[in-house]
Amino acid sequence: MTDDLLSGLRDALRGELITRDDEDAFVSARFRGWNHDLSRRVYPLGFVIASGVRDVATTVKFCCENSLNLTVRGKGAHSPYGMADDAIVIDLMNMTTVRVDADRKLAFIQAGADGGDIDHETALHNLVCITGSISHTGFAGVALGGGIGHLSRWLGTVVDSIVGYEMVTATGDVVRVDVDNDPELFWGMRGNGTSFGIVTEFILKLHDMPNDGIIRSAPILWTDDKASEVMSSWMARIAQPDRKETETLQFAFLHSPDGDPVCGVLPLIVGETEQAATSTCDEIATYAGGAAVRQDMQLPYTAIQAALDDCFPYDKNNWDKGVFINWDPNNEAAVNEIIGAVIKAWGEKPNFASKLSTFILLMEVDGAVAKGDGASTSFSARGGRLWVSALIGWPEDDDGQRAASKKWCNDTIAALHSFHVTTYLNNALPENADEMRGVFPKETIKRLETLKAKHDPDGMFKAGAWNFEANI
């Protein structure tokens, strides 16, 4: 019985241990995750609902001594690596405290927190850091792979703002890692942080948020038959030199609340006067003869962070894939090829695709992302102009629908192959060594392999990007 195997662990914990023997609680824990498709295909050994750092360390030591696999997930429970077959899942859902030191402009973030937890506390002081683009996405999952969000063109990646970690090592020790304490591990953690230990706290520098946190945002929409004209004007706009990095203009294919296919530009304009920000949106709204719907307005940054939450509900089937692309803006043929490929991909999405949760999103990732100090982090996705992602939801627990959904995402990204620059660990889901080399340069992989051999020689943390047999 599972309880007999784990009795020693249960007695050592302050938090809760849920095993297969407690069927109702086990099913509830297993399907707490965001992606139902992942939850249904893995069968963990049990869940440790950690009360704090000591429970994390105790569980790591127990798993090490008993040759048990382990994984980690937070409150967001989005990561495909958060559960694995026959593994102990360390669940950090109760470790969500966010403490802001406004004088030093630092945030101390427990690893179970989600983006909404962080925005709630930092906004009190008109401070901000990059989190995910959905407020219920777990912060740790975003941050450990590099971290890109709505305002990354202005503020860079999450890892560019991380100044320290508290983490539990493969031997169950609790250590601090920063530029002075193991700088090489600090470098590796900032881009591939899932591989070397379990982070229990992040320390981040925060940034001043102008205008009391009020930005101009919300979509400007057209029917999707206007996509070619809209994309052409939008791509010309984002290629203009000397644009302020506080202006981010995203393009998306999506569905209206009525289920109609539409395309749109989502402006995110920080720090401008209302008149100047409105003027920019006035220009965008003239594309393709005029927008069908214009929703842009002045609103709190925290509102746009949560605006898409309902489009990504929990316990539904999802898949996504993405890549960073670049092109010569003066090359009209290249511009037309990108536009044509994206429009064609949108037209080929499966008929069963969820109208709530299916998108093609093109996000600007130049600016501060490209200017970040690449030598100080293992995060390597700094060369692109746009991050292109295909995201799909599907209704049934059906392997055919799953395969078609995954193929659509992969085909969408493959159609832009000639413009690929790099990709992003959190959106690449590397399934083999070749795909891993698409995330990290050869020299970076060598350094990461050396760190892995030093800090996790027995492969305690193998459910992340280094495990090409993961159930993704």
What is the end-to-end Cα distance of the chain in Å, rounded? 28
Supply 417's token pair. 């192959």
Q: Which domains does the chain have, with CATH numbers?
A: 14-91 (3.30.43.10), 98-209+441-455 (3.30.465.10), 213-433 (3.40.462.20)
Q: Say yes or no to pLDDT of 472 above 60.
A: no
What is the model's pLDDT at position 463? 67
The pLDDT confidence band at residue 199, using thresholds 50, 70 and 90, is very high
By residue count, the chain amounts to 472
Q: Is the pLDDT of residue 22 over 60?
A: yes
Q: How far is C-alpha 177 from the geometric centre of its chain's CA atoms?
A: 22
DSSP 288: G
DSSP state, 274? Answer: H
Between β-strands 214-217 and 220-223, what pairing exists: parallel, antiparallel or unpaired?
Answer: unpaired
By three-state DSSP, how is residue 424 classified?
Answer: coil
Separation CA 57–CA 409 (nearest Å): 38
Write the pLDDT tens digit of every residue in 86-144.
999 999 999 999 999 999 999 999 999 999 999 999 999 999 999 999 999 999 999 99
Q: Which residue has the tokens 């925005």?
A: 119
- Please give the helix or strand (H or E) that residue 399 lies within, else none: helix 399-414
* Mean pLDDT on 21-36: 96
Instruction: Report in angstroms the alpha-carbon separations of 175 from 111, 170, 186, 412.
Output: 15, 11, 12, 42
**CA-angle at 151, arms to 145 and 153, nearest 5°:** 85
Average pLDDT score over the chain: 94
At residue 467, does pLDDT exceed 60?
Answer: no
Indicate the SS3 state at residue 316: strand
Position 3 scores a pLDDT of: 67
Handedness of CA 399, 401, 406, 407 (dihedral sign): positive
Angle at 381 between CA 373 and CA 369, to 5 degrees: 50
3-state secondary structure of 421: strand
Q: State phi, psi for 346 to the nearest 5 degrees.
A: -60, -40
Q: Give bridge partners of residue 107 from the DSSP assignment.
A: 100, 204
Q: How confident is the model at residue 4 (pLDDT cuts 50, 70, 90)?
A: confident
In the predicted model, is pLDDT for residue 469 greater than 60?
Answer: no
